[in-house]
Amino acid sequence: MTDITSLDGTPLSPLCFGTMQFGGTADAAASHAMYDACRAQGVTFFDTAHVYTDGASETLLGACIASEREKVIVATKAAYTGGASRDVILSSMDDSRRRMQVDVVDILYMHRWDGETPLEETFETLAGLREAGTIRHVAVSNYAAWQVMKAQAVAARFDLKIEMMQPMYSLVKRQAEVEILPMAMDQDIAVVPYSPLGGGLLTGKYATGGSGRLTTDDRYAARYGPEWMHAAAAALSDLASDAGMAPATLAVAWAMRHPGVTAPIISARSTEQLAPSLAALDVTLDDDLYARIAALTPTPAPATDRLEEA
């Protein structure tokens, strides 16, 4: 779908590694070890953001890529706080490039929708950054389908195209199937979904008393609180056991299998925690197992809500 490559022409890998934990739950040693584990498995695509761990994520990722910058694809995000104004974007990019010690960022996401700043200001600024060679590709994160299309129309005025987007998508968060994934396939927008493990719910660890963001972050606790989600996680663990693999492997492989998905974002706190997600690179789900997994959660209604046409 996409022709986004690294500076030396290396293509996107079918998984992206997200460095949200770098400098937070993963110290420098753990961060470098996970980066090396990803590279050993052929991962070429790495994701960070201006706001992650107060800049430590970008700084550590920059240290990881220093010796092979042209071989990897680096994405960061701006405009999570303060809006998507020209000043915020430019200031954020200055910080991000300084932290990562790079001249050019391969992919820059607008981290979330800003309904206050005119889209013309946002995309004129992004067009200027691309023309200057500071960024290579423009992307958006956490946008609804209508927001993407509205932004795309404005971007076209500046000879710009949204080439990638980052929605939430997993077995227990399937809203993207309604409009985002069909829109992206129609518009040739690469989709790099985050949280394919449902905040760790689909690893099965919480059912056995494990800890993580669902136990430490109220937002994630609410996001993945419904009982049916926990029941689906338990059922996925049973299917994974029957298939002889970890639940996380099966969950990531399921998200990868959708034809509209380019590269799910995996993340972890350690190489041990990362291994089951990386193992999805070696898994191809057949139609029967894919359907059995999908049947564990409700298929969202079509955008028109005409159930008789589903």
- Residue 32 falls inside a structural domain: yes
Q: How many domains does the chain have?
A: 1
Percent of the chain scoring above 70 in pLDDT = 99
35 is catalytic: no
pLDDT tens-digit series, residues 15-37: 999 999 999 999 999 999 999 99
Nearest CA-CA partner of 220 in 45, 20, 26:
20
Q: What value, to the nearest 5°, has the Cα angle with vertex 199 and ends 197 and 204?
A: 60
- Using the predicted structure, report yes or no on whether residue 184 has a pLDDT greater than 90: yes
For residues 196-217, average pLDDT: 88
Q: Which domain holds residue 75?
A: 1-166
For 125, the token pair is: 């600024």
Q: What is the pLDDT of residue 2?
A: 67
Q: Is the pLDDT confidence value at 168 over 70?
A: yes
Read off the pLDDT of residues 119-163 as tens digits, 9 standing for 90 and up: 999 999 999 999 999 999 999 999 999 999 999 999 999 999 999
pLDDT tens, 47-104? 999 999 999 999 999 999 999 999 999 999 999 999 999 999 999 999 999 999 999 9
Decide if 270 is inside a domain: no
Roughly what angle, to the nearest 10 degrees, separates helices 247-257 and 227-243?
A: 100
Q: Do the domain assignments include residue 143?
A: yes
Assigned domain for 109 exists:
yes
Q: Is residue 65 part of a domain?
A: yes
Catalytic site residue from 35, 52, 80, 206: 52
Read off the pLDDT band of 243 (50, 70, 90): very high
Tell me if 92 is assigned to some domain: yes
Provide the pLDDT for residue 144.
97
The whole-angstrom separation of Cα 177 and Cα 197 is 16
Q: How many CA atoms lie within 13 A of 230 on its CB side?
A: 13
Chain segment 220-240, per-residue pLDDT in tens: 999 999 999 999 999 999 999
**CATH number assigned to the domain comprising residue 141:** 3.20.20.100
Any domain includes 25? yes
**pLDDT, tens digit, for every residue of 244-263?**
999 999 999 999 999 999 99
Tell me: pLDDT of 1 over 60: no
pLDDT at 310 over 80: no
Whether 171 maps to a domain, the answer reads no
Burial of 218 by CB count in 10 Å (0-12 exposed, 13-18 middle, 19+ buried)? exposed
Give the predicted TM-score (pTM) of the model: 0.96
Chain-wide mean pLDDT for the chain?
Answer: 96
